[in-house]
Amino acid sequence: MGPVTIAAGLMALAGACTAIPSTRSIPVAAAAPLPVSPKPEAPAPRAHLAVTQARQQPSPALVATIQTLGRQFNGRVGIAVQRVDAGWTVTHNGDQLFPQQSVSKLWVAMTMFDAIDRGKVSLDTPVTIRPGDLTLFHQPIAAMVKGEGYKTTLRDLLFRAMQQSDNTANDSILRTVGGPEAVRGYLARRFFGPETIRFGPGERMLQSQTAGLTWSQDMAMGRRFYTARANLPRSAREKALDAYLANPIDGAAPTAIVRALAKLKKGDMLSPSSTQALLAIMGDAKTGPQRVKAGVPEGWTYVHKTGTGQDLSPRSTGYNDVGIMTAPDGTSYAIAVMIGETTVSIPERWALMQSVARAVAALHRK
């Protein structure tokens, strides 16, 4: 399947789809006391009323395009778009749980900043990474872990985790802020319950269970994890992967993710300084340049976090990008595109993600 164009989506479904109802009502001014000789109140300007209504609900064309992109993609995908200043959301499979993979690093970062806001830690808190702290897959920091270990700070680890998606850096932050329970507690306290955004046990347990392995620390060295996984019978790997996809321990609903991103953008998840710092770090992310970001038009900005799961040919899993697109006029849209499972090529996955960004920009209304 090639990329679905925005124009095709609009022509096919714009007239047939109904916009998702707004979660907000249009404010009505309180009536003033009537004078002795009442005069008819002037009606609200039609142009102003039309603009207000446009902000309160999505364009039917955007609804049609997002749903068409989701239906025509060859794989299981969840898509959600929320306009931050209006609160409406457009979705495809938006309430289903999809594997987050490294998207979950976002919640670790938020938990860390929350701990900073509460005076528990600071960006300059010292941390030492030792060989026993290494994880697996993408961990560039491992090259620095020698002898007594690599001495650094939470600041350094945060940049590595959020901009390079370094698994060891992220797990070190996770341990420093109190482990998985601290993240779950933060989400429950500042957001909502764990069944809409789950948080898994950390990279080592998550990835070994998904592969059908029992973790041992020697798997962090060299390519030992890959070797152990390759030595498993295919039936064992398929059974473990199927179980993970059916009930992902790090699963999240796209609608929940965009609600959290919208709250972050509005300053409802962290202090103003922590909000600004995290969004700036997300804006400089080096991962996923050809995902949603490649569809963001010139003049717009995009801050984000990607996630990528394991492959068992011909299947790929957990191919994600979530973030916040902001128009030149300052209007922001929280976006989540989560491919739970697919057999299509990476360029076809890119095309889907880029099409979502282009649809949002093309159908943006002030």
Q: Is residue 87 part of a domain?
A: yes
Whether residue 88 is contained in a domain is answered as: yes
Domain presence at residue 43: no
pLDDT of residue 25: 29
Against a cut of 0.75, is the pTM above it?
yes
Model confidence at 105, pLDDT cuts 50, 70, 90, reads very high
> Is residue 71 domain-resident?
yes
206 within a domain of the structure (yes/no): no
Q: What's the mean pLDDT in 325-343? A: 98
Whether residue 300 lies inside any domain: the answer is yes
Q: What is the CA radius of gyration of the chain?
A: 23
Number of domains the chain contains: 1
pLDDT tens, position by position, 250-301? 999 999 999 999 999 999 999 999 999 999 999 999 999 999 999 999 999 9
Q: What is the mean pLDDT of the chain?
A: 88
Give the pLDDT of residue 125: 97
What is the number of other CB atoms lying within 10 angstroms of the CB of residue 312? 18
Asked if pLDDT for residue 40 goes beyond 70, the answer is: no
Q: Is the pLDDT of residue 5 over 70?
A: no
With respect to residue 89, please indicate whether it lies within any of the assigned structural domains. yes
pLDDT in tens, 211-245: 999 999 999 999 999 999 999 999 999 999 999 99
- Structural tokens at position 162: 């959020």
Q: Is 340:78 a contact under the CB 8 Å cutoff?
A: yes
**Is 286 within the bounds of a domain?**
yes
Containing domain of residue 79, as a range?
60-103+245-362
Full 3-state SS string of the chain: CCCCCHHHHHHHHCCCCCCCCCCCCCCCCCCCCCCCCCCCCCCCCHHHHHHHHHHHCCCHHHHHHHHHHHHHCCEEEEEEEEECCCCCEEEECCCCCEECHHHHHHHHHHHHHHHHHCCCCCCCCEEEECHHHCCCCCCHHHHHCCCCCEEEEHHHHHHHHHHCCCHHHHHHHHHHHCCHHHHHHHHHHHCCCCCCECCCCCHHHHHHHHHCCCCCHHHHCCCHHHHHHHCCCHHHHHHHHHHHHHCCCCEECHHHHHHHHHHHHHCCCCCHHHHHHHHHHHHCCCCCCCCHHHHCCCCCEEEEEEECCCEECCEEEEEEEEEEEECCCCCEEEEEEEEEEECCCHHHHHHHHHHHHHHHHHCCCC
CATH of the domain at 293: 3.40.710.10
For residue 282, which amino acid is it?
Answer: M
What does the pLDDT average to over 341-350?
A: 98
